A = this chain, B = another copy of it.
Amino acid sequence: MNIGTAAAEAGVSAKMIRHYEAIGLLRPAARRDNQYRDYAERDVHELRFIGRARRLGFSMDEIRTLLALWRDDARPSREVRRVAQAHLHDLETRIGEMQAMAGTLRELVDHCHGDARPECPILEGLGGAPKSATTPG
């Protein structure tokens, strides 16, 4: 199966497949006489694994680890769980940070009239005084 077909079946771009191979995430694909990469069902399976992991936000390094565990029939599920949980924690942290951003931003947006007048709490919030001390009385 050509790289394009494998890509379509796995839900990953051909470009990315070559990239994954280049960075050593995947073993070099088999080649036909014409140098075309040749993929079998099990390769597609692996690519699909990568695609799903990416879609869950795992980093390439994490995926590298997960792939190794996946290939090892005797891995302890403990190790897989550890990787996944670490990433989940990471995700939750980032979500929290973004929610804080969004909260602050929403507050600013909510206080802005959004009309033709120049007064704008958003810009004031961004450019305002750094410390609450030197506010003139």
Contact = CB atoms under 8 A, between A and B. Distances in A.
A56 B112 contact: no
Contacts of A91: 98, 101-102, 105
A116 interface: yes
Nearest to A105: B88
A135 to B, nearest CB: 15
A125 to B, nearest CB: 8
Given A55-B101, A88-B105, A101-B91, A115 B76 contact: yes
A112 B70 contact: no
A35 B101 CA distance: 38
A53 B94 CA distance: 17
B106 A88 contact: yes
Given A77-B112, A81-B112, A118-B77, A101 B48 contact: no
Interface of A: 9, 11, 45, 48-49, 52-53, 55-57, 66, 69-70, 73-78, 80-82, 84-85, 87-88, 91-92, 94-95, 98-99, 101-102, 104-106, 108-109, 112-120, 122-123, 125-127, 130
